[in-house]
Structure formats: C-alpha cells, structure tokens
Structure 1
Amino acid sequence: MSIYVAHRLFAAHDRALAAALAERLAAKVGTERVFLPFCDTDEEDLIAEVKGRRLFELDRDRLGCLDAMVALLHGPSLDDGVCMEIGYAAASSIPVLLLTTDFQTYSLSKDGAHLDFPDPLIQAVANHIIRMPRLGPPSSSHQQGATHYAGFLSRNLSQVDAALDTAVEAVLGLPAPALRSTAHNEDCLVYVEGSPYTAWGHDYLARPCLDAGHRVVLPRRFTATDPTAGALDDLTAACGASRLLTDVSGPETPPGTALLIGAALASDVRIAAFHPHLTYTHASGREPNWRNLMIQYAVHAHLKDREAVQA
C-alpha cells in the first residue's frame, strides 16, 4: 500500500503535524510505502537547475503510483497545492481521506446545507472525512505551578493525537484504487472556472472562448440545489473538456479551482491559468514562483490579460 500524505508545508507546525501522521502510517505499512512531500523530496537541501519544477516532477511522479491519499486540511483558507494533489488523486480513482480539526463548518448560503470545507468539490471527491473539531478532555492531573495555558496545550495535543490515530486506522480501511475510466476530451469544449476573489466573474473569460467558436461549460456547484452533486458534475465536465481555463487570482488559488487543475492534469486536459496581478514567493535555492509550484507547473499556459485569453 503506497500512501501519499498531502499537507501544507510552509511552516514548521504544518510539517511537524504531517510528519507525526507519516510516522504512525509507516509503523503500520513501512517507510517505503509512505510519501511525505518536503521530507521525501529533500526540499530544503535539494539542488536542481529549476528547483520548483523538479519538486513538482518528484511529487507528480509519486501521485502517479498511489494506493491512497491522506490530506490534512485546516481552516477556511485551504492550501492550493494540497487541493491540486487531491484533484489529481480523485481523477486517477485513488481513494482520498481528508482530515480536519477545524471547528467551523461552511455553507453556500445562510440556511444552506453544511459542508466540512468551503468548496463543495473538496467534500464531493472524498472517500472518507475525519473531523475532530473539539479539544481533548481536561487533564485529571494538575502539575504544581502549571498555568492554565499548559492545560490548554494538553487539550490541543490530545485532540491532534486522537485525529491522527483515527486517520491511520481509517486509511488502512480505504478501498483499493478503482480501475480508471479514460474520459473522452471533447474538442472545442472549454470548462471556465472563475475566481471568487475577483469582480469580473466567469463572463470575462467565457466570452472570448465563445467568440472563437468554442463551447463553454461553467461551474454548477455554487448554484445547484445539491452542491455536492453539482460539484461532481463540474469534476466530470472539467476532466472531459479539451481545455480548462481557470482564474487563479487571489491570495492563493481558490481550493476548488486548484482541485480541478489537478484533476485536469491527471486527465490530460490542457490547462490555462489567468492571473493578471502577480505576486511572487521566494525560497532559498528556488526560482521565484508566481503561484504555488504545484499549480504553476501543472498549467500549460499563463495568461496575463484579456488579449492573451483571446489568443
């Protein structure tokens, strides 16, 4: 059993949490069957001519030979690289387990159905979701001189321990990967995914496609009566299109958009990312990246303006 641990990796506490999960999984299946990005790609010390691309290639290679994925997702701002990896696994018929300690749930309207994650696509592709939203029980013992902060820390750590133990047992019970069905990519069909962070909406990207004679599909999950069913329709449409045109504007690529980019990459769909106002991330030994490197190197074209979309 080969297990991929997908996690946010830009801060020590995120990496430590993922390492704790990987260590527990390795005790069950062996270290050679667990892949932990950053750790197993030696990211901090890796030397490569184009380091970001090389890291993308190493992660993608492992995504192509999985039996299961465990993804750590916390809070309303989900890591776009993790969401991209989830989409790749889902489109490849790899079972996905999602683990969260977020105490919030989400809905698309005030009285709408509650979801574990902000975008219904995340919910829709999961084979199993583990939510541990509450602190662990107060400790029965109290060390002399200990503050109430120590007790609060203990309750958080016990919450994490319970979540990780539950995830390990659950991933071992996931079904085997299904036989992947090869989607037929329809010529001249473009799936257009706008960004919730911008004011121009879908039409800004869809209109040039229509003017060029393409057929266009727009997302259904945000307006469907059943958002989860609408999300699965979106996934099917994106994986069956000839092109995926996405707006990745915002503080990070929107989670559902990132998931569709991963799914499209796994389905051999050409991907274009519209992102007119760039900001860059920098890391030692790595070239500047204008998006999460899993997003940046998954796309086939970066579009900076409407003229580029039309072209």
Structure 2
Amino acid sequence: MSYYIAHRLFAAHDRVLAADLARRLAAKTGPEHVFLPFCDTDEEDLVAEIKGRRLFELDRERLGRLDAMIALLHGPSLDDGVCMEIGYAVASGVPVIVLSTDFQTYSLTEAGPHLSFPDPLIQAVATRIVRVPRLGAPELPGQPVPSRFEAFRARNLAQINTALDEGIDALINLPSRPARVVTPPPADRSSVYIEASPYAAWDRDHLAEACRAVGHTVATPERFAAGDPVKAALNDLAAVCSADRFLADVSGPETPPGTALLIGAAAARGVRTAAVHPHPSFTHAHGREPNWRNLMIQYATEARLDNREDVLSWLASQSGSQAA
C-alpha cells in the first residue's frame, strides 16, 4: 500500500503536524509505504532548472500511483494545493480521508445544512472526515495543573493526538479499493465548464457569454444554490470530468477550494484547463521561481488568461497539453 499525506507547506506548524502524522502512520505500515511531500522531495536540496515545476512533477508522479490519501485541511481558508491533490486522487478512484482540527461548521445559507467545510465539494468526495468537534475539554478537577497555559496546551494537544490516531485508523482500515470508473468522452466536444471566483469582479456571466459567443456549450456550478449541496457538488465534479475544457477563475488570496479540487480532477482526467487570473500576485520562496498561484495549480493548468481576448484565443486553439 502507498499512502500520500497532503498538507499545507507554508507554515512550520503545519509541517510539524504532517510529520507527526507521517511518523505515526509509518510506525503501523512501514516508512516505505508513506509519502510526505516536500520532505520526500527534499525541496531545500533539490536542484532543478525550474524547481517549482519539478516539485509538481514529483508530487504528481506519486499521485498517479497511490492507494489512499490522508489530507490535512483547517479553517475556512483551505489550502489550494491540498484541495488540488484531493481532486486528483478522487478522480483517479483513490479514497481520501480528510482530517481537520477546525471545530466550526459551515452553511451556504443561515438555515442551510451544516457542512464540515465552506465548499460542499470537500464533504462530497471525502471517503471519511475526521474532525475535532469542539474546543479541547478542560482537565478534570483535582488533577495537578502547572499553569493555565500549560493546561490549555495539554487539552488541545490531546485532541490533536486523538484526531491523528483516528485518521490513521480510518486510513489503514479502508475497505478494498473499488475499481476505477472511467468516464467516456463526452458526445459534445464543445462543452466548457466554468467555475467563477467569489473574489472576482469578472464573474461567470462574462466568461459564459464569451464561450457561448463562439459556439460552446456552457456548464456552471450547481452546488452553491442547491437544496442538497453535497449531491449537487458531485454533479459539478461529474460535469468537469466529462467536459472538453475547464475555465477556472483562480482569483483571490488562494484559489477557491472547490475550484482547486476541480482543477486536480480535471488534471487527472486529461481535461484541458485554463486559469483565469486577471490580476495575479506572486509568491517567492528560496531557490524557486516566482509562482502566480500555488505550484500545484500553476502547473496543473495549461494557460493563465488575463482578459476576454485571451479566453477567446484559448477557446479557438485546437490542441494543447496540460502544462504539467
């Protein structure tokens, strides 16, 4: 068995949490069965002409041959690279355990169904979700407490340890992996799925109009306005996987989580994908080229489009391969 741990890279505490998860999992399965990105690709010592692209290639190669994934996701702003990896795994028929230390739940309307994450896609595709349900419980009366800070740390660390162990048990006790279901090519090769960003002024109507103007059939998300958002999210996933092309607006502080997940699914299924990103900001890391999005997003898409003219040009292109 090959297990992939998907986690946020850019904060030291997230790397420590992922390493602790990997250590515990390796103790039960053997270290050769556990892949911890950035640790096992050794970013600090990796030498490559374009390091970010090489890191993407190494992670994607591993994504193509894993048996199960455990993903760490926290808070309302979910890591877009992790969400992309979840989408890739799910579209490849790989079970995904999602582990979160966020005790909040979310709804798309005030009285709507409560979800574990802001975008129902995460809940829809997860094989199982392991969460901490509330703030850590106080210590029992009568137990010695060195200080209130130590007590607060201990009660929350105990929660984390419980969640890690529960997530690992869920991962290694998964039922036999089901056969992969291959979606046949769509009958309408002009279909385009459009995913708008809540942060963008250039909304889905502008993109849809541009696509329809040159003869494409357009599909847009159902999940944000559906009475059953989880069921609708699965419809959105199916629509992307069966589309000819995918226009993903990745505007915002991070690529919106559902959009990132769908980009991963599209990459796994070979759907041509372009990122609409009119006003990029760049991230910089030692030894790595500037990235206009998380490298898992940047290299999973074949083009970044600035404006309507770019969109029309990409739609008119007859062939192309994913930048990955």
TM-score (norm 1): 0.97
User: Is 1:268 equivalent to 2:273 in the alignment?
Assistant: no
Q: Which residue of 2 aligns with 1:222?
A: 224
Task: Name the aligned partner's letter for residue 206 of structure 2.
Answer: Y
Partner of 2:83: 83
Deviations 1:137-193 (A, max 9, x none): 4345325xx321111111111111011011111111112332222223331110000
Q: How far apart in 1 are the matches of 2:144 and 2:239? A: 57
Contact 1:275 1:303 in 2 (8 A): yes
Match of 1:149 in 2: 149
Deviates more, 1:166-175 or 1:254-263: 166-175
Q: Distance in 1 between matches of 2:134 and 2:151?
A: 15
Counterpart of 1:274, as a letter, is V
- Report the CA distance between 1:261 and its aligned residue: 0.1
SS at match of 1:28: helix
Task: Give the secondary-structure state (helix, strand or coil) at the position aligned to 2:190.
Answer: strand
Tell me how far apart the structure 2 counterparts of residues 247 and 95 of structure 1 sit (CA, whole Å): 27
Instruction: Name the aligned partner's letter for residue 123 of structure 2.
Output: Q
Instruction: String of CA shifts for 1:18-73, please: whole Å, max 9, x gaps.
Output: 00001111011111110101101101221111000000000000100111000011
Q: Which residue of 2 aligns with 1:96?
A: 96
C-alpha contact (below 8 Å) 2:72/2:99 kept by paired residues = yes
Query: Shift in Å at residue 197 of structure 1?
Result: 1.1
Aligned position for 1:127: 127
2:43: which partner in 1? 43
Matched with 1:310 is 312
Separation in 2, partners of 1:134, 1:109: 22
Match 1:290 to one of 273, 289, 292 = 292
Paired residue type of 1:148: R
Distance 1:79 1:52 in 2: 17
Q: After TM superposition, list the pairs within 5 Å mapping 1:186-225 onto structure 2.
A: 186=186, 187-225=189-227
8 Å CA contact 2:106, 2:118 repeated in 1: yes
Q: Which residue of 1 aligns with 2:15?
A: 15
Q: Does 1:254 align with 2:244?
A: no
SS state at 1:71 partner: strand
Alpha-carbon RMSD: 1.1
The one-letter code matched in structure 2 to 1:206 is A
Q: Deviations over 1:76-103 (max 9, x none)?
A: 0000000000000010110010111111
Contact 1:101 1:134 in 2 (8 A): no
Partner of 1:181: 181
Does the aligned pair in 1 maintain the 2:103–2:135 contact within 8 Å?
no
Question: Gapped runs of 5+ residues in structure 1?
Answer: none
The answer to whether the 8 A contact 1:95-1:176 is kept is: no
**More displaced stretch, 261-270 vs 44-53:** 44-53
Decide whether the 8 Å contact of 2:249 with 2:276 is kept in 1. Answer: yes
- Does structure 2 retain, via aligned residues, the 8 Å contact 1:67–1:176? no
**CA–CA distance in structure 2, aligned partners of residues 306 and 250 of structure 1:** 19
**CA deviation after TM superposition for structure 1 residue 283, in Å:** 0.6
With normalisation by structure 2, the TM-score equals 0.93
Structure 2 residue identity aligned to 1:31: P
> Aligned partners of 2:225, 2:135: CA distance in 1, in Å?
35
Greater displacement, 173-182 / 43-52 = 173-182
Post-superposition Cα deviations, 1:90-147, rounded to whole Å, max 9, x if no partner, equal 101100101111111000001000000000000000010111133444345325xx32
| % same residue | 64
Number of residues of Structure 1 aligned to a counterpart in Structure 2: 309
In the alignment, the residues of structure 2 paired with residue 43 and residue 28 of structure 1 have an alpha-carbon distance, to the nearest angstrom, of 26
Distance 2:136 2:223 in 1: 35
Q: Report if aligned partners of 1:134, 1:159 keep a CA contact under 8 Å in 2.
A: no
Q: Which runs of 4+ in 1 moved over 4 A?
A: none
Q: CA contact under 8 A between 1:53 and 1:297: conserved in structure 2? A: yes
* AA partner of residue 298 (structure 1): A
